[in-house]
A and B are shown apart, each in its own frame.
Chain A
Amino acid sequence: MTGQVEVLLDTNLCMAYGVCVTTMPDVFDTPAGSPVAVLRRDRVEAHDRDELEEAIRACPAQALAMREPPS
């Protein structure tokens, strides 16, 4: 459970609601005019894991997931 986790965004599901941006603006963004969210970075530190899990839960399109990065 230590170390970074990888953020996964399924752009086929994403609706660019922006709910994730309100939780983690340093990880997600919904640029004006973009039909989907973008990742500002694809790794988060272990201590941000709870917030990432909240963003994953809150996504109405179920477009977010996380996984342990391949070592």
Chain B
Amino acid sequence: MPELAGLGTLTRFLLRRDRVRSLVWVASLGLLVWVSAVSVEGLYPTQADLDAAAAASRDNAAAIAFNGPDQGLDTLGGQVAFQVSSFGLIVTALMGIFMVGRETRGEEEDGRLELVRSLPVGRHATTAAVLLVVAGMSVAVGVVVTLGVLTIGLPTAGCLALGAGFTAVGLVFAAVTLVAAQVTENTRVAYGIGGAVLGASFVLRAAGDVGDGTLSWLSPIGWAQKLRPFAGERWWPLVLPLVATVALVALAVVLAARRDVGAGLVPPRPGPARIADGWARPLGLALRLQRGSVVWWSLGLLLMGVAYGSVAQDVEDFVGDNEAVQDMIARAGGVSLTDAYLGTSLLMLALVGSGFTVAAVLRLRSEETNLRAEPILATRVSRPRWVASHLVVAVVGSAVVMVAGGFGLGLSYGLASDDLGQVGRLVGASLPWVPAMWLLAAVALLLFGAVPRATGVAWAVLAGCFVVGLLAEALKLPAAVRDLSPFEHIPELPAASLSVLPIAVVSAVAAAVAVAGFVAFGRRDVG
């Protein structure tokens, strides 16, 4: 097929280029699932333990909303799927989004695609090569997940269903991002569209699983869980992701044929010939470069907060006269279950919002490697002033993003419970998390200043905070490891009472690390 000429060579080239990156994705997903499975096995050694766990989860709307539907929870396999699949599926979706985004629109935006397309390769060959590689990665993730849960002796059919769900999610989000990459000229926007679809999938699934399950059928993550691993597997829902993938790829092919290389579907418009006064300074420039990011992340967290808040009311209803849960509340010192749920929701919002924080600081590095820092630093702008411009955006933006999340949470819970006082209460409760986000900003800044080639480690640190925040119980992490995450030290308002000391300590550490970052950057070579 002439449209696909050169596919083999391009695929091999891509595998060569991304061999480390793809291995890291697949291996860390495999490891995550395997470690979680092993620790769940250790957590519930007897059937009585499993029954108790099932009873506790079944009546806990928060757990259902975060993890997945109530299916097979009194079996070891069902618990494993419940504990790992939600988080694991989100990471798999991110793999599809980032891999396809960078290798299609990213390559195009940087002008490298043009060079490749001038060679005797088919119009769709580069895209097909990316799809082949990412589909291969998705299958590989499915295989390592399946093998991982097989090693603890779970039933084969369930292991296969769990793995197949991971593969399906990887495929669907690869295809979603492929469409997004045709619509926009900007790689970041393509990531944003992929992320928005992922957010919507998570919210639909959460709402569906807490409700009667119907909405979950609209979500790719839901499709994976509808395979019912370890809970009477059924295979026909696999048709849904496969059809969706094929349809989205076909749409992308049609869209791609309608546009020029380098262009999006939306044509560029002329802009102002002179700069407005406010933008013509470092802080103005940083704000202008990052305002889209602040707006979209705020909107994303607002919607996420709305989704969490909308089910908060159900948490109380779930409790009913369940003794286990009442015991739990009593042990927690009479805290209302709703408040505990809202506190956990704010933790989730803070963790997700930290994605903005890290990205905002690492903008410094991409400005540097794209040679846009150099001409700025060749003017009267000092290094600290340039770094501060983006750091201010990250610091203030983190607060904005987090407050947007708290506002969404309060608004939808307030509307559901006829108590709009919740808006102020939850916006207030969201603020203590901001210093923890700042600490991540400071860590990213220190990496940028001291080891600029390793700024990616900042994402690993955030991933570590996610693991501690979401999987600490399942993984039985020792306290010393948990304490490494700044989020562990923040009081989970509104359930906990406000204690200022830990917040002040986290803030002080953030400030000290940030200063070290400034000093390190002042001493190193730029470029």
Q: Do A and B come from one complex?
A: no
